[in-house]
Amino acid sequence: MAHIKLAQNKVAELKEVCKKFNNDKGELINVLHAAQSLFGYLPAEVQEVVANELNVSIAHVHGVVSFYSFFTMIPKGKYPISICMGTACYVRGAEKVLNEFKKLLDIKVGETTPDGVFSLNSLRCVGACGLAPVVTVGEKVHGRVAVEDVKSIIEEYKNDKE
Partner 1 sequence: MDKIKLTIDNTLVEVEKGTTVLEAAKLTGVDIPTLCYLKLEDTAFENTPGGCRMCVVEVEGRRNLAPSCKTQCEDGMFVSTHTPRVVNARRTVMELILSDHPFECLVCTKSGKCDLQSLAQDLGIREIHYQGEKSTYKGDESPGIIREPEKCIMCRRCETACNDVQTVGTLSALYRGFGSVVAPAFEMDLDHSSCTFCGQCVAVCPTGALIERDNTWKVMEAIMNPKKTVIVQTAPAVRAALGEEFGYEAGTLVTGKMVSALRKIGFDYVFDTDFAADLTIMEEGTELLERLNKHLQGDKNVKLPMLTSCCPGWVNFFEYHFPDMLDIPSTAKSPQQMFGAIAKSYFAEKMNIDRKDLVVVSVMPCLAKKFEAARPEFAVDGDPDVNVSITTRELAQMIKSANLNFDALKDDDFDRPLGESSGAGVIFGSTGGVIEAAVRTAYELHTGKTLEKVDFNELRGFEGIRSATIDFDGLPINIGIAHGLGNARTLLEEIRAGKSQFHAIEIMACPGGCIGGGGQPYHHGDVSILKKRQIAIYQEDAGKPIRKSHENPYIQNLYKEYLGAPCSEKSHELLHTNYFAKKKKIEIE
Summarize as ranges the residues that interact with partner 1 (CB under 8 A): 1, 3, 5-8, 11, 44-45, 47-49, 52, 56-63, 66-67
87-125 core/surface letters (b: 16 or more CB in 10 A; e: else)? ebbbebbbeebbebbbeebebeeebbbeeebbbbbbeee
Instruction: Give ∠ CA 110-39-95 in degrees, rounded to 5.
Output: 20
Min. distance of Cβ 84 from partner 1 in angstroms?
25
Q: Toward partner 1, which CB reaches closer, 15 or 102? A: 15
Min. distance of Cβ 72 from partner 1 in angstroms?
13
Q: Toward partner 1, which CB reaches closer, 2 or 139? A: 2
Q: Toward partner 1, which CB reaches closer, 8 or 152? A: 8
Q: Which helix (H) or strand (E) holds 116?
A: none
Min. distance of Cβ 31 from partner 1 in angstroms?
16
Q: Toward partner 1, which CB reaches closer, 14 or 131? A: 14
On whether the CB atoms of residues 15 and 53 are closer than 8 A, the answer is: yes
